[in-house]
């Protein structure tokens, strides 16, 4: 194979991945937990006798088959989420793990899938007499994989824990520095307007060097780039979606969630670029947890006798962002800007997304409602 053919093959593989990730991103705005997609793929793989559940998951994630789901997950783990600390890029750690009752039979093909496609740690454990101990082991694994940011993912549940057959958990850690950092000496307290009409005083980072915004009807989007690793083709960034109206977040989210393919291609909605005249973004830090099984029922997916827990946290300051997320399934640069100028003052609730540009993969997503609360 010559160089031209090799480049063409790599480009096609990335475009195929972007298409698949883009399809899955359509549910991200509604589910707000990208890691759960991996959990759902594992549920589909572990239910060979339950074709109805597997088919619903394939349909929900807009894939052509379970094999396609596993291929996409494998590419994400090995390529998109590869660590780039050594080359000066973001520190990234993505890990999967399975804890399964030692008395149960495991299909060799399922074990091979976990080890090879999902790079998952495989653990035989005693749920029947040492359920609490296994619970603590999973929580300890998650805490280690997220550098201590996610703790106690699984609540202690002495009544149902001994009935557990398996737990599949995944964890993601990201630590990236801004390509153009904010000057801490310019950070000043200012008002942030809450949805209920009240205000809180919080520190705002300020800057306008080499930044521009995409202006849509009713909201604006800024793209904050993270520093790339040497010879790294990936490009990580945080996108902030700021409604024009101070109470406009709910209507903006409803519009984005109903616009198919927007996270894959922002040009689905008409927009134009503008220079940022004033840039103000609050420092913020928060965590979030929820039980996803109920949310999945809204998509017509009911996984009986199971629990899917998700936790995430993020800290954004002048240097960059540090974020982590974990989920567990318990189963019984500069450019010449246009002349127009706009302020980008994020002094009211907004949406943020941390994503990798080439693949379109969303790593973290959240809403900043009150940056004064940690």
| pTM (predicted TM-score) | 0.88
* pLDDT of residue 11 exceeding 50: no
Percent of the chain with pLDDT over 70: 84
- What's the rounded mean pLDDT across residues 6-33? 51
Mean pLDDT of the chain: 85
- Checking phi first, is residue 278 left (phi over 0); if not, alpha (psi -120 to 50) or beta? beta
CA torsion 78→79→80→86, rounded to 10°?
A: 100
Q: Which two tokens stand for residue 360?
A: 């379109």
Q: How far is CA 269 from the centre of its chain?
A: 23
The answer to whether residue 316 scores a pLDDT higher than 70 is yes
122 sits in the region (left: phi over 0; alpha: psi -120 to 50; else beta) called beta
Give the per-residue pLDDT at 60: 83
pLDDT at 76: 86
- Cα 314 from chain centroid? 11
> What domains lie within the chain, and their CATH numbers?
3-176+286-331 (3.30.497.10), 179-283+334-368 (2.30.39.10)
pLDDT band at 208 (very low <50, low <70, confident <90, very high): low
pLDDT mean over 237-265: 89
DSSP collapsed to 3 states, the chain? CCHHHHHHHHHHHHHHHHHHHHHHHCCHHHHCCCCHHHHHHHHHHCCCCCHHHHHHHHHHCCCCCHHHHHHHHHHHHHHHCCCCCCCCCCEEEEEEEEEEECCCCCCHHHHHHHHHCCCEEEEEECHHHHHHHHHHHHHHHHHHHCCCCCCCCCCCCCCCHHHCCEEEEEEEEEEEEECCCCCHHHCEEEEEECCCCCEEEEEEEECCCCCEEEEECCEEEEEEEECCCCCCCCCEEEEEEEECCCCCHHHHHHHHHCCCCCCCCHHHCCCEEEEEEEEEEECEEEEEEEEHHHHHHCCCCCCCCEEEEEEEEEEECCCEEEEEEEEEEEECCCCCCCCCEEEEECCCCEEEEEEECCCCCEEEEEEECCCCCC
Res 215 pLDDT > 80:
yes
Residue 209: its pLDDT value, please? 56
Is residue 24 predicted with pLDDT exceeding 70?
no
Mean pLDDT of 53-64: 85
Q: Could you tell me if residue 300 is left (phi over 0), alpha (psi between -120 and 50 degrees) or otherwise beta?
A: left
pLDDT the model gives residue 358? 83
Give the mean pLDDT of 154-164: 74
Query: What does the block give as tokens for 328?
Result: 């567990």
CA distance 99 to 73: 19
Locate 280 and state its tokens: 């103000």
Query: Do 326 and 317 contact (CB within 8 A), yes or no?
Result: no
Nearest to 122 by CA among 70, 168, 66: 168
């Amino acid at each position: 194979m010559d160089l031209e053919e090799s480049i063409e093959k790599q480009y096609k593989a990335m475009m195929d991945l972007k298409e698949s990730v883009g399809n899955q991103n359509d549910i991200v705005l509604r589910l707000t937990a990208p890691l759960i997609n991996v959990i759902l793929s594992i549920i589909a793989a572990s239910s060979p006798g339950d074709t109805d559940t597997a088919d619903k998951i394939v349909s929900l994630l807009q894939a052509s088959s379970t094999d396609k789901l596993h291929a996409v997950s494998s590419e994400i783990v090995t390529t998109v989420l590869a660590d780039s600390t050594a080359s000066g890029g973001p520190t990234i750690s993505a890990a999967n793990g399975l804890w399964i009752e030692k008395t149960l039979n495991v299909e060799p093909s399922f074990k091979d899938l976990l080890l090879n496609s999902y790079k998952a740690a495989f653990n035989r454990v005693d749920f029947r007499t040492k359920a609490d101990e296994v619970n603590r082991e999973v929580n300890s694994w998650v805490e280690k994989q997220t550098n201590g940011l996610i703790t106690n993912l699984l609540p202690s549940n002495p009544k149902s824990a001994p009935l557990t057959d398996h737990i599949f958990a995944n964890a993601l850690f990201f630590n990236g520095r801004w390509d153009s950092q904010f000057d801490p000496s310019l950070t000043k307290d200012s008002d942030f307007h809450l949805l209920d009409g009240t205000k809180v005083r919080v520190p705002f980072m300020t800057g306008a060097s080499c930044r521009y915004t995409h202006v849509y009807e009713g909201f604006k989007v800024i793209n904050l780039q993270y520093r790339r690793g040497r010879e790294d083709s990936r490009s990580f960034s945080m996108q902030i979606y700021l409604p024009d109206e101070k109470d406009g977040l709910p209507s903006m989210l409803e519009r984005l969630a109903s616009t198919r393919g927007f996270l894959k291609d922002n040009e689905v909605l008409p927009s134009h670029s503008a220079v940022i005249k004033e840039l103000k973004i609050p420092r913020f830090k928060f965590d979030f947890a929820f039980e996803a099984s109920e949310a999945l029922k809204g998509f017509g997916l009911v996984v009986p006798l199971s629990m899917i827990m998700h936790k995430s946290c993020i800290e954004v300051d002048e240097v960059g962002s540090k974020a982590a997320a974990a989920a567990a399934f318990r189963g019984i640069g500069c450019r010449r800007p246009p002349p127009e100028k706009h302020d980008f003052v994020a002094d009211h609730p907004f949406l943020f997304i941390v994503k990798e540009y080439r693949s379109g993969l969303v790593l973290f997503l959240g809403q900043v409602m009150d940056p004064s609360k940690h």
